[in-house]
Amino acid sequence: MTHLSADLAQQKQKLREKLRFRRKHFAANLDGMAQLAAFRALPAPLTELLAEHAIVGAYVAWRDEPNVLPMFAAVAAAGALALPHHAARIDTMGFRRWQTGEALEKGPWGTQQPADKASAAAPDLIFCPLVGFDRQGGRIGQGGGHYDRYFAAHPNALRIGVGWSVQEIDATPRESTDMALDAILTEQEFILCGDRL
């Protein structure tokens, strides 16, 4: 069992390296207009979905990840947006409320996050960043397992991955702790992966 797990971890790491390279060069080669247009407006199915959920979780883009915050300006203005928050360099990730214009702080993992004093929240719809994905809801993240642990602790929250179309692969290697996505949003399409949406 340990050998299988180590083999899967190695497969994922090799995929991460390949997909990060692909993502970096894709984002760098987008022209100015494409950069401005990508992930600025919600596709029609998502507009309806947002209205049905009290708290929406999103993220602050890191490196070449798509910047989704402009899509959620109205949600943030209504006080219904929450962003990932890490209290320390530990396994546990939570969410804190955030509104446009509020300061973000550098978290213990180097990403931007709401201030420690911001109100804790439990989103029932979560948009999470991807390193890689497949059309069956498989997700490759950064490798820390923060989102998988959060999803496992909050199984009723809907999970939508966000990435560039070039991050798609045929199949992601999966472990028992990997939580499947309900849908994926790219700059080209909205992909349903399960039957929860």
* The token pair that represents 190 in the structure block: 């909205």
| Helix intervals (H) in 30-165 | 32-37, 44-51, 73-77, 146-153
* The token pair that represents 121 in the structure block: 């929240």
Phi-psi region of 39 (alpha: psi -120 to 50; beta: other; left: phi over 0): left
CB 113 within 8 A of CB 107: yes
Report the alpha-carbon distance of residue 71 to residue 38 in Å, rounded. 10
Tens of pLDDT, residue by residue, the chain (197 residues): 344 467 888 888 999 999 999 999 998 888 765 665 778 888 888 888 888 889 999 999 998 999 999 999 999 999 999 999 999 988 889 999 999 999 999 999 899 999 999 999 999 999 999 999 999 999 999 888 899 999 999 999 999 999 999 999 999 998 888 899 999 999 999 999 989 98
| Helix intervals (H) in the chain | 2-29, 32-37, 44-51, 73-77, 146-153
Rounded to the nearest 5°, which phi and psi values hold at 186?
-120, 180
Kindly give, in sequence order, each residue whose CB lies less than 8 Å from that of residue 102, ignoring residues fewer than 6 positions away: 114, 115, 118
Could you please state the CATH topology (level 3) that the domain comprising 2-192 is classified under.
Answer: Rossmann fold (3.40.50)
Break the chain into its structural domains and give their ranges: 2-192
Query: If DSSP codes are grouped into helix, strand and coil, which group holds residue 109?
Result: coil
